[in-house]
Structure formats: structure tokens, C-alpha cells
Amino acid sequence: MNLCYADARRTIIEQIRKQKGPINLIIEAPLSVCFDANHNPKGRTFEKRDSKTRYWYTGLGCAVMTAAMYLIRDIHEAMKDLPNVEIRLFEGFVSFKEGKTDDKKDVRALREKIKNAQQFQGSIYSADELKFDESDELFSAFRVASLDCGIPAVIVAWPIPEDRHQSSSIQSQPSLSRRM
């Protein structure tokens, strides 16, 4: 099912309202931002593959990050009248594919990686693995809208870099539940 933004927003909020337990919400958009020691925008580790880059602050990344800000704000507003609903927020990264895939296949790949996190540890980047340099600063992309959701783990859908170790962890995954 392919939905436009308004339909997807409505469907997500309806699912949250009906949910009895925790929800894993994967958004394919930059959900955290990085700046260097001089406060200039800087890419995150998984956004560079060999000589190719897909940095959060360039191209389509900015547009989908803005849409995600509106979605998170709407979810936050919808949660105000709900009991304590836990939403586990993840950033999905679908780039550097070795050919064309369809959206459904990309979504299934992201879901599979979070459902089987132990098996796909190399595809999951925790917040402390996103910096190139120790002096880099990471922030929630929603901090500018006073909705600091923490730094979500990032799930990389397609090929895992060869040098990626298998010790990633999602244990300290930020949640939207009452953090917004």
C-alpha cells in the first residue's frame, strides 16, 4: 500500500491510538543532526560510503526531515490525551543500494532488521556510533521544534559496509513516550 503523506500520517496516528503495547516507529528521514567543533553541519558515519555521501543536510534529506518534524509534532499532539503509550523511534536509512528496489521491499528490509536486531547488528547504529570525531555534536533533529526525542538508533537497509562490526546495540533506544 502506497500512501501520500496525509494518509500515512492519519494511519500512523490511528495505529498509535489502537495500540496496546510498545510501537516501533521507523521513519526514513534524518532524525538526528551532527555539527563539527566549529558548529558547521557534518555528516554522520553511515552517510558516507567510499566516495559517495548522503548527508542529512543536503538534497532530499532536508525535505524528508522537515516532513518528519511535522509528523512527530502531530504524533506528540495526538498522544497528549492517551495513556502512557511507548513509541520506540528509529531512523531508517535506505541509500547506497546496488540497484533499484521498490518501497515495499525497502520497508520490509527495515522491519526485518529491527525485528531480528541480534541477527542484523551490523545494520543498526546506536547514537554513540554516529560521530566521525569525538568533538562532533549530535542532536535530535526535532530539538529546533522543542520536541527533543533523543538520538534514535539508525537502521541501514541495504548493504552493510564491509568494515561494520557486529557489536551494535539498541538497548538504549530513545522512546517518544512522554519525552516530547
Predicted TM-score of the model (pTM): 0.83
Residues 68 and 152: their CA atoms lie apart, in Å, by 13
Q: Is residue 166 part of a domain?
A: no
Q: Each residue of 44-74: pLDDT tens digit?
A: 999 998 899 999 999 889 999 999 999 999 9
Burial category of 29 from C-beta neighbours within 10 Å (exposed 0-12, middle 13-18, buried 19 and up): buried
Q: Is residue 119 part of a domain?
A: yes
Residue 25, helix vs strand vs coil: strand
Residue (of 130, 132, 133, 108) closest to 174 by Cα position: 130
DSSP category for residue 128: G
Q: Is residue 152 part of a domain?
A: yes
Domain total of the chain: 1
**Structural domain harbouring 84:** 5-156
Q: How many other C-beta atoms can be found within 10 angstroms of the C-beta atom of residue 161?
A: 15
Q: Is residue 170 part of a domain?
A: no
- Report residue 176: phi and psi, to 5°: -80, -10
Q: Is residue 144 part of a domain?
A: yes
The torsion angle over the Cα atoms of residues 118, 50, 130 and 139, rounded to 10 degrees, is -140
> What is the pLDDT, as a whole number, of residue 179?
38
Residues 156 and 86: their CA atoms lie apart, in Å, by 23
Name the pLDDT band for 36 (thresholds 50, 70, 90).
very high
Q: Is residue 35 part of a domain?
A: yes
Q: Is residue 175 part of a domain?
A: no
> What is the pLDDT, as a whole number, of residue 167?
46
Residue 23, helix vs strand vs coil: strand
Residues 104 and 44: their CA atoms lie apart, in Å, by 26
Q: Is residue 177 part of a domain?
A: no
Q: Each residue of 129-173: pLDDT tens digit?
A: 999 999 999 999 999 888 888 899 999 987 665 555 444 444 445
- Tell me what the mean pLDDT of segment 62-89 comes to: 88
